[in-house]
Amino acid sequence: MLDQTTEQLIIQTSASLAQKTKAQIVVVTVNSLSGTAPEEYALSILREWGIGDKTLNNGLLILVSPTDRVSRIEVGYGLEGALPDAKTGQIQDEYMLPYFQKNDYNQGILNGYSALAKEVAKEYQVSLEINSPQALPKAVASATANPLPIWAEVLLGFLFILLIYVDHRAFNGFFFGFILGMLFRGGGGRGGSGGGFGGGGGSGGGGGSSRNW
């Protein structure tokens, strides 16, 4: 998933960052989470591996599962101020997911790592030699995120309106009303694509965000 150049860059940068700040950033890739929630999976690794300084709680974990098409950035308590949930979600949305959607996990992970490393270096006011993350041009990113052509969207919209019309004429809107009722009664829960969730808390973990693609 990661080529040798990226692996070496991450190892060398992490060593330099740890020496200057005691903060640690670890990248973990797994084929599948085997049904475990990404929040639980990432937090357990952060705790069991003891990522970051024990006193400062400044560990970071990037978790990516291509089979489950899910990623998570887990943040230790000590870095919550520099990397709140919204920030880690933005990093994934802008620098990681557009590449994951193209199956370019190497570049997506490198982007996420670079963005996090820069934020940590900024927080501790140290210099760090690492390239800036590469965001896809907005036109390319939009096309990747929305593979349906415009004509297909128009057709789907027309069919939806037609179904509502037929339901209203033939069944007095019974089925449409029933579906709406089910949606409102079953509201809530953790979202899908683009949804962010807070961290699990506890020793070592303070926050983070998860994404699906």
Q: Do residues 79 and 99 lie in contact, with contact meaning Cβ atoms separated by under 8 Å?
A: no
Taking only the tens place, the pLDDT of each residue in 158-167 is: 777 877 777 6
Q: Do residues 28 and 64 lie in contact, with contact meaning Cβ atoms separated by under 8 Å?
A: yes
Taking only the tens place, the pLDDT of each residue in 158-202 is: 777 877 777 677 777 665 565 555 444 443 333 333 222 233 333
Q: Which CATH class is domain 4-137+191-212?
A: alpha beta
Taking the domains of the chain in order of start, what are their residue ranges?
4-137+191-212, 148-185
Tell whether pTM > 0.85. Answer: no
Which helix (H) or strand (E) segment holds residue 100: the answer is helix 97-100
10 vs 206: CA distance, rounded Å = 23
Q: What is the pLDDT of residue 63?
A: 98
Collapse the DSSP code of 64 into the 3-class scheme (helix H, G, I; strand E, B; otherwise coil) and give the result.
strand
Q: Which of 27, 36, 32, 93 is nearest to 62 (CA)?
A: 27
Check pLDDT > 80 for residue 106.
yes
Phi, psi of 211 (to 5 degrees): -140, 150
Q: What is the pLDDT of residue 134?
A: 73
